[in-house]
Structure 1
Amino acid sequence: MIKLFSVKEKQERERRENAENTKQGVKKASASELRLQKDISELNLPKQIKIAFPDGPNKLNRFDIIVSPDEGYYKGGKFSFAFNMPDSYPHDPPKVKCESPRPVYHPNIDLEGNVCLNILREDWNPVLTISSVVFGLQFLFLDPNPDDPLNKDAAKVLTSDPKQFQANVRRSLSGCYIGNTYFPPCR
């Protein structure tokens, strides 16, 4: 069992040491920063996935993953996800949000860009890595899950009429209204 107080005490001690080292002109990386550096350096992304660091390559706590599915319902689309890494990573999962296009016609992504992926919530475990999340996002586009939806309307169409769902996705990739919601192009 993890002793919560000892973890908090360790984090506080690291923070104080970093503050002291910063005064001396030396910044010591926290355990979270070291793990994040390791995870990012070990990423082996397929050609359909790209990574970008909008705040520069030295700011690893914020980055974007661009997923461009080459098969399935979303083939030809381009979707950007913002990753914000908490100071408590890997003990807490990254905060991931679909940034563009928004909204996306997808059962597991709501109209605000929130993502329903079990490893970003209750199934997160510190042994999981950034790579696990990236491949989870890729899998959402290959096999949307209507059983755990954030967009209940899209999930209902996927379950009741998969051909209509496919038609809605194809139309949404080019930009269109589905119901009262406009889905911008995402190519």
Structure 2
Amino acid sequence: MLRLKKKKEAEALAKKTEEESGTATPSTTDTDSNDGSSPMQTDDSKKVSLLGGIGGKKVGGGEKKKKRTPGEIRIQKDIAELDGGSVATITFPSANTLTTFCVSVTPDSGYWSGCTYSFTFTIPALYPHEPPKVHCDTQLYHPNVNTEGNVCLNILREDWKPVLDINAVIYGLIYLFYDPNPADPLNHEAAKLLRENKGEFERNVKRSLRGGYVDGVQYQALK
């Protein structure tokens, strides 16, 4: 009788231990750690992680999802209102990146008409409190663009205001092709020639567009 009682007690203890271990198993499986996290906390963390990665883990180092900068938030609004008309077209090299894009300008009159000139726009994190950065990717003989692709436009510097937007910059670039500003130059030789001898300046522009040399620099042929 005593043996039977002990056997039953042992069986009951084993069953209880099995039941306890069975309820504990999901917790250790879900957390896969001993940090004391509850199953509910683990499930929540997986839901968040899946938004930015695969299998509950971030791709590329396990960092948290990057917070959007004010510039990224504002540029979304500006993009919805972009309108370069028939003279300018806007393209995005990466559909996932709104802060870097290309603008192609094709003037329909003026010294540079008939050719297409490409610009890269980079939106800083503090945009619109800081102006966008604009680089001319097409080698251009122009008083307001130097051979390194820097662009001299007043609203990209001291005249920039947060109320301005990308459209304003695009219109400013278009205007530079119709009415270059020799009073605020980057290419000082071209600006001086435009002020003093417009006929010779026009010949230099045409020579540069054909791929010729101007002031010791060979330009890319665009015509």
Using CA pairs under 8 Å that are at least 6 residues apart, name the structure with larger relative contact order, 1 or 2. 1
1:24-67 deviation digits (Å, cap 9, x = unpaired)? 7376644322210110110122111111111x122111001000
Q: Equivalences for 1:148-167 in 2 at 5 Å?
A: 148-167=184-203
Out of 116, 129, 132, the residue aligned to residue 91 of structure 1 is 129
2:112 to 33, 54, 74: 74
Gaps of 5+ in 2: 1-47, 53-64
8 A contact 2:71–2:123 mirrored in 1: no
Q: Work out whether 1:177 is the aligned partner of 2:213.
A: yes
2:89 corresponds, among 27, 47, 50, to 50
- What RMSD, in angstroms, separates the aligned Cα atoms of the two structures? 1.8
| Secondary structure in 1 matching 2:101 | strand
Partner of 1:171, secondary structure, is helix
**Which 5+ residue runs of structure 1 have no aligned equivalent?**
1-21
**Residue type at the aligned position of 1:97:** H
2:70–2:125 Cα contact (<8 Å) kept: no
Which residue type is aligned with residue 51 of structure 2? G
> Residue 79 of structure 1 contacts residue 186 of structure 1 at CA under 8 Å; is this kept in 2?
no
Q: Is the 8 A contact 1:83 1:94 kept in 2?
A: yes
1:25 maps to what in 2? 51
TM-score, scaled relative to structure 1: 0.82
Give the number of the structure whose residues are more often helix, by fraction: 2
Matched to 1:183, the amino acid is: Y
* Counterpart amino acid of residue 94 in structure 1: P
Corresponding residue of 1:16: none
Q: Given the alignment, which residue of 100, 114, 125 partners 1:62?
A: 100
Cα deviation code 1:100-128 (max 9, x no counterpart): 2x2x1000001100000000001111000
How far apart in 1 are the matches of 2:130 and 2:183? 25
- Report the TM-score, using the length of structure 2 for normalisation: 0.69
Q: Which runs of 4+ in 1 moved over 6 A?
A: none
Percent of paired sites with the same residue: 49
Which amino acid in 1 is paired with 2:122?
A: N
**Max Rg structure:** 2
Partner residue in 2 for 1:34:
73
